[in-house]
Amino acid sequence: MRELLVLFAVLFSAAGPGMAQGTYRLELLDTAVLASRRITESSGVVPSALVPGVFWTHNDSGDGPYLYATDSTGRDLGAIRVAGAGAHDWEDLAAGSCLIVPGRCLYVGDMGDNKRHRRSVVVYRLREPAPPRGPADSLGVVPLLDSIVLTYPDGAHDAEALAVTRAGDLLIITKDRAGPSVLFRASAARGDGPRLLRRIGALAMRTGALTGRLATGAALAPDGALLAVRTYVSIHLFRLAGDSIPVPLTGASGMTIPVVEAQGEALAFDGPDRLVLTCERGSSNHALLTRLRLVRTGP
């Protein structure tokens, strides 16, 4: 049923494949099937900074605390277990400065809450590991640096979109089925105990469960100022504006994703003008990695 909704939304969208409202458009570069049979529902993705061309991803709920390595051809490059982390409902993956120690870290958002009953959510922080070289059934282990426990100021939310700013703030965008996608923010600096997210406001993007327009992933461009948010069928661009609501750059409908995914959830920048998407296997039993070029068409 979900795949039919996604297909319907793609066909029904006013913006055709490769076209955009505003000053950007998307070009499809290529797609690849993820070879690892352990990757059943790729929910987050980031490029490795240590080995160019390699990507980290993870499953949605139902898996343990594992990160899987692949490349643009979908090869199975192995997996690691994040020691000390739980895995209630991992929904997104981001990368940024570790802040509490030197170097680059991965941030795993355990923040899914379909029934909206969690009193708090968690973002796990770990040093970015070197990708493994073996198959996914030969697991390496990387230790957790810490767990950032977060609470919402207005009650529980379901969320699947996470990004980390250059200044060291966590950006979380909600996926509530009723109402808009709302941006929350919190510092990722070291701190004791749960920290309260700050509500920044609703993003100017069209949402709706029946059309597949629910926020399922987010990423920041290398310049740290361009925020991309994806739904099952579209990508929306915003310019960060400090603690204010980000400025929309692609209109309420965003840009239509020019490929049909079973259930697309992950999004990352791989350079200033290239986006990477992943999705679950669906009925076709093929999880995809898709690369898109982001083309600026106006000022």
In terms of DSSP bridges, do strands 140-143 and 79-83 run parallel, antiparallel, or are they unpaired? parallel
Question: Computed from CA positions of residues 55, 286, 82, 139, in that sequence, does the dihedral angle turn out positive or negative?
Answer: negative
CATH code at 2-281: 2.120.10
pLDDT computed for residue 240 by the predictor: 96
SS3 7: helix
For residue 9, pLDDT over 90 is answered with no
- pLDDT tens digits along 116-160: 999 999 999 999 999 887 675 567 899 999 999 999 999 999 999
- pLDDT tens digits along 155-198: 999 999 999 999 999 999 999 888 899 999 999 998 778 999 99
DSSP-assigned beta bridge partners for residue 275: 269, 292
CA distance 93 to 57: 7
